[in-house]
Amino acid sequence: MKHIFQQGIDAKAPVLLLLHGTGGTEQDLLPLAGIISPQSSVLSLRGSVLENGMPRFFRRLAEGVFDEEDLVLRTEEMHSFLGEAADNYGFDRSNIVAIGYSNGANIAGSLLFHYSAALCGAILHHPMVPRRGIELPKMNGLPVFIGAGTNDPLCSPQETEELERLLAGAGANVTVQWQSSGHQLTKGEIDAASAWYQHHF
């Protein structure tokens, strides 16, 4: 997968896995890593699926309608890639916190939905429920931050609440931060994610 790896100054700090939104690149969320955990190593990926020339992490059939078969395949690919990257760059595979926005948050959520211990934490900005009707792995207190907008046209409050219920039902320790905004990533939401991270890690 096309990616950037930046070595951090604290080998014990979680590696930040950065996952952009539709049409983004592996450069997009680098400033967030600097705010949330400047001492961490960073692994930032570019989605390998193109939709009208815009990178994404998996295909969709329509806005808000995921191609589940492709989602499962791309999630498996990412899970394997994280193991390879840990070997190549010499970091602890069990010490990865994902930071994802929109489509990137959805693939991060899918990692949690499909693989036990894929991540040791996740910051999900404006995620949707990746899949329904599957049994989730046990998450045993795994810390998850969800940033949501009360006026988000792509991700309704009901969607956010359903995702919170599903993750909490699997044992995750979920914090939802609401902003009176739409689908964009606001400074208030980033500040809240940073404060949450400092508390948990």
110 is catalytic: no
Q: Hey, what are 177's tokens? A: 């931060």
The H or E element that residue 141 is part of is none
The catalytically annotated residue of 40, 102, 110, 114 is 102
DSSP 132: S
183 is catalytic: yes
102 is catalytic: yes
Q: Are 148 and 179 in contact (CB under 8 A)?
A: yes
Phi, psi dihedrals of residue 38, rounded to the nearest 5°: -60, -20
The catalytically annotated residue of 79, 183, 194, 200 is 183
The catalytically annotated residue of 40, 110, 125, 152 is 152
Task: Assign 3-state DSSP to the chain and report helix, strand, coil percentages, each to 5.
Answer: 35, 25, 40
Give the closest residue to 106 by CA, choosing from 78, 134, 139, 140: 78
Q: Are 157 and 136 in contact (CB under 8 A)?
A: no
- What is the rounded CA–CA span in Å between residue 125 and residue 99? 8
- What is the rounded CA–CA span in Å between residue 179 and residue 25? 25
State the catalytic residues: 102, 152, 183
